Amino acid sequence: MAESRLLKLGTIFSRVNGLIRGGRMKFEDRPLWYDVYEAFPPKLPPVFDRAPVMKEINDIMYPEDIIRAEFFKRYTSPGVMNLVSPAGHTLSQRFVETYFEVAKDANVPRDQLFERTASRMQAQGTVLQSIAQLKEKSARIAEAANASAGASLSGRGMAGADERIQDFVPQSPLR
């Protein structure tokens, strides 16, 4: 009967500790957090009736967060990324690093940093596809698909449609 339990009495640690001492739970089956809690107990016990501490929470905003946000406003995601690969950073991280390299040059005005960074990355062979370019490609793919569908309905078949559509499909840099 779950309704009869008084969950407000004691902490989760004290209840698990009681289960272990009472033999209802094996010590080997203890939760992962048990040893950490035992080694580093909180200063104040986490009980339900303790008043919350009202503290002002500081905003954490780094310059690279602003750059990365602007990057994702202008450019599309490169697709699937392997985050555990030692091969390198994500595209946005490489953009931020390049941005700071360009920013070190004192001759670059602040309002042109983003464009210069994009130019430098494109010169290095990185494909940066803007959202406007993606919408344009999507429209051309839809147009090609509609034309192919109309051709197949008129009896001409889909010969060559795959080649026309492949011209519009972006190639992944991860291949």
Q: Do residues 96 and 67 lie in contact, with contact meaning Cβ atoms separated by under 8 Å?
A: yes
8-state DSSP, 147 = H
The DSSP symbol for 52 reads P
Q: Average of pLDDT values for 20-26? A: 94
- CA-to-CA dists, residue 14 to 45, 69, 83, 132, angstroms: 10, 45, 39, 58
pLDDT above 70 as % of the chain: 78
Q: Which of 16-25, 125-134, 166-175 has the lowest mean pLDDT?
A: 166-175
Residue range 11-16: average pLDDT?
88
Q: Is the pLDDT of residue 24 over 50?
A: yes
Q: How far apart are CA 100 and CA 93, in angstroms?
A: 11
Q: Name the maximum alpha-carbon separation found in the chain.
A: 80
Confidence of residue 156 (pLDDT cuts 50, 70, 90): very low
- With 0-12 CB in 10 A as exposed, 13-18 as middle and 19+ as buried, what is 34? middle
What average pLDDT does the segment 79-87 reach? 72
Angle (CA) 135 128 74, round 5°: 60
pLDDT confidence bin for 1, thresholds 50/70/90: very low
Q: What is the residue-averaged pLDDT of the chain?
A: 78
Residue 65 has pLDDT above 70, yes or no: yes
